[in-house]
Structure 1
Amino acid sequence: MFSDHVPIYRQIGDRIRADIVTGTLGADQQVMSTNQYAAFYGINPATAAKAFQELIDEGLLYKRRGVGMFVSPEAQAKLLGERRAQFFTEHVAPMIAEAKALGISLDEVADQVRAAAAEPTKKDPS
């Protein structure tokens, strides 16, 4: 269920972030309470609470006193913006630097990207 390489609270937060990005959790949708989450996954409620507090601090969740926690209306847009920026920093910038080092023009890179995007998506044979 949970990896030993990353703290559990971090994995919980990442799972909720992914659900927000994909739309599985929508704006103003209620999420499980920390106690429900802890019981469902068999973890310490304090671990779940730490994950939820981190998401609240990031502005992705908000509390309604006596009701529970909900996805912030701007959460998906915020996460998508962060992930787009991360994509360009981690993938595009190094690719451009490598292309320049190899003497590949940016036009050629763009042509290759367009060609790859036009190809049908390969399905996993399993």
Structure 2
Amino acid sequence: MDDGRPLFLQIAEQIEGSIIDGSLPEETRVPSTNELAAFHRINPATAANGINQLVTDGVLYKRRGIGMFVASGAREQLLERRRQDFGRKFIAPLLGEAQKLGMDAEDLKKMIDAWRDET
């Protein structure tokens, strides 16, 4: 688990991925910081930083004495954020390059359809 980004962000993204794919449904308990630390062989404080980031983002909430849980609406919140990120990372550059090449939306649609048909 080391792709150059801080470990706490990788922990947060792993939990986000589990929420998005449905393996951690809303209102279910997430692994504790100690469970995450033991599983990933990292410092519990690092795991706690990842969890705390998700609490700050409103994705998780704490039930005193029980643990952290997935908040209602967390999946849709994460999907919307990822859609926005997708637009910034991929769509904006795609449109910029298409404009340089003199392509319009219909040209892009045809190209996307052709690539999709090849797979």
Do both proteins adopt the same fold according to a TM-score greater than 0.5, normalized to the shorter chain? yes
Distance in 1, Cα, partners of 2:95 & 2:70: 36
Structure 1 vs Structure 2 CA RMSD = 1.5
Indicate the SS of the match to 2:61.
strand
Match in the other structure for 1:37: 36
What letter corresponds to residue 62 of structure 1 in structure 2?
Y
| Structure 2 equivalent of residue 108 of structure 1 | 107
> What secondary structure does 1:70 align onto?
strand
Q: Quote the residue 1:51 is aligned against.
A: 50
* Aligned pairs for 1:11-30 within 5 A: 11-30=10-29
SS in 2 for 1:30: coil
Query: Residues 5-61 of structure 1: CA distance to partner in whole angstroms, max 9, x if unpaired?
Result: 121111111111111111121111111111122122222111111111111000111
CA distance in 1, matches of 2:103, 2:40: 50
Unaligned 5+ residue runs, structure 1? Answer: 122-126
Q: State the number of aligned residues.
A: 119
TM-score by length of 2: 0.91
Summarize the Cα distance change of 1:4–1:85 in structure 2 as closer, same or farther, 3 Å threshold. closer
Give the structure-1-normalised TM-score.
0.86
Q: Which runs of 4+ in 1 moved over 4 A?
A: none
Structure 2 SS opposite 1:26: coil
Q: How much does 1:120 deviate?
A: 5.9
Kindly provide the CA deviation profile for residues 77-99 of structure 1, in whole angstroms up to 9, marking residues without a partner as x. 01100111111121112111111
Distance, in Å, in 1 between the alignment partners of 2:22 and 2:38 is 24
